[in-house]
Amino acid sequence: MESVHRSLIGRNGAPPLERSAASRRSRRRRFALAPYLQIAPLAATLLVFLVVPIAAVIAVSFWDYDTARLIPAFIFTNYHDLLVDPITWDTYLQTISVAFLTWALTLAIGFTVAYFLAFHVRSKAWQTVLFLVCTVPFWTSNIIRMIAWIPFLGRNGLLNQALLHFGLIRQPLEFLLFSNFAVVLAYVHLFTLFMVVPIFNSMMRIDRALLEAARDLGASGRQSLWHVIIPLTKPGIAIGTIFILTIVMGDFVTVSVMSGGQRASVALMMVNAMSLLQYPAAAANAVVLLAIVLGIVGALVRIVDIRKEL
């Protein structure tokens, strides 16, 4: 700043000391304002759409309520009620285990698909075509993709009928639909692409000469995968993990459709609370969920440096 200031004065040909202090100050202020104006649009957007809503949720989580009203207050009852209720713990456990299963499966499938696209498909054209094929499921809505599973997985669904027909089972399999299995299956179906994209992106940045170097130094295909590709794909895996975790932890539609209302999730708890107008209870739950997800993401970012992918 100072040097810019000086050089400007120097260019005008006037020695700095002859300038009045007032004009120097105004010049400095004008320069100092510019960067703030430049970040103002983004800052305003984030303020209105991120900071204010979260602040509101946090504030309301300390409010009191009765059957008909929200009462501004600063009480910890909502958190206390939430944390002493064993159902809360069960639900969190259920949600986290479903999220973990979904994460493990999407990671395995997503990594394989990305690996195939990045290292086995040689031509750029085919890469693009196959990548577009991966997005085909996204051409219809989430709900339709979920509901499409129901006639397939149901008690008298296609899968059970086929298995019965070939004599592989005697009784229809009950766990296929309205179960954790169905929920995880739907998640994997819906969200694997969110794992494929960042991992593929990471893989495409790996210099192919590194794989040749590994081969030159005696690495087998499996060793190259373990010692070169996976370490260099970690940022992509971390980003995919963040996508999957945040989506699954906050979801309630898939859970209610695919479990037929028989399974709970943290977000469903909030929906139920809100339908009873217990907004402060739902807000407290939301704050706890936010803290947990942020904790996981924070831990992940500490382990893996994702900045170079952004």
Partner 1 sequence: MAGAANVELVAVSKRYGSTVAVDGVDLRIPAGSYCCLLGPSGCGKTSTLRMISGHEEVSDGDILLGSRNITDLAPAKRSTAMMFQSYALFPHLDCVDNVAFSLTMKGVGRATRRKRAMELLARLHMDGFADRLPGQLSGGQQQRVALARALITDPSVLLLDEPLSALDPFLRLQVREELKVLQAQLGITFIHVTHSQEEAMALASLVVVMNQGRIEQVGEPQAVFNRPASVFVARFIGGYNLLPARGDDQAGAIAMPGGAPPGDAHVAVRADRIRLAAAPPQPGHGACEATGLVKTIEYLGLMVKVGVEIDDGLRLSVMLPEERYLAHPVALGMRVSAAWARDDMHVMTH
- The residues of the shown chain that bind partner 1, judged by CB under 8 A, are 207, 209-210, 212-220, 223, 227-228, 231-232
Amino acid (one-letter) located at 233: T
| Token pair belonging to 147 | 């509901």
> Closest approach of Cβ 235 to partner 1, in Å?
10
Q: How far apart are CA 290 and CA 310, in angstroms?
A: 23
CB of 207 to partner 1, least distance (A): 7
Which tokens go with 262?
Answer: 């028989």
Residue type, 230: I
Q: How far apart are CA 234 and CA 120, in angstroms?
A: 20
Integer Cα distance of 206 and 225 in angstroms:
12
Nearer to partner 1, 53 or 231 (CB): 231
Residue 105, CB-side half-sphere exposure with 13 Å CA sphere: 18
Q: How far is the CB of 309 from partner 1 (least distance, A)?
A: 13
CA atoms of 25 and 46, how far apart (whole Å): 32
| 3-class SS letters over 198-256 | HHHHHHHCCCHHHHHHHHHCCCCHHHHHHHHHHHHHHHHHHHHHHHHHHHHHCCCHHHH
Choice between 185 and 239, CB closer to partner 1: 239
Q: How far is the CB of 126 from partner 1 (least distance, A)?
A: 17
Of 99 and 214, CB closest to partner 1: 214
Task: Name which of 219 and 300 has its Cβ closer to partner 1.
Answer: 219
CB of 206 to partner 1, least distance (A): 9
Rank residues 34 and 209 by Cβ distance to partner 1 and give the closer one. Answer: 209
- Contact predicate 236/201, CB 8 Å: yes
* Burial class (CB within 10 angstroms; exposed 0-12, middle 13-18, buried 19+) of 304: middle
Burial track 219-228 (b if 16+ CB lie within 10 A, e otherwise): beeeebbeeb
Minimum CB separation of residue 228 from partner 1 in Å reads: 6
- Kindly tell me which of 70 and 304 has the beta carbon lying closer to partner 1: 304
CB of 221 to partner 1, least distance (A): 11
Cβ 269 vs Cβ 250: under 8 Å: no
Nearer to partner 1, 69 or 308 (CB): 308
DSSP string covering 247-280? HHHT--HHHHHHTTT-S--HHHHHHHHHHTT-HH
The least CB distance from residue 119 to partner 1, in Å, is: 16
Single-letter amino acid, residue 282: A
Closer Cβ to partner 1, 27 or 215, answer by number: 215
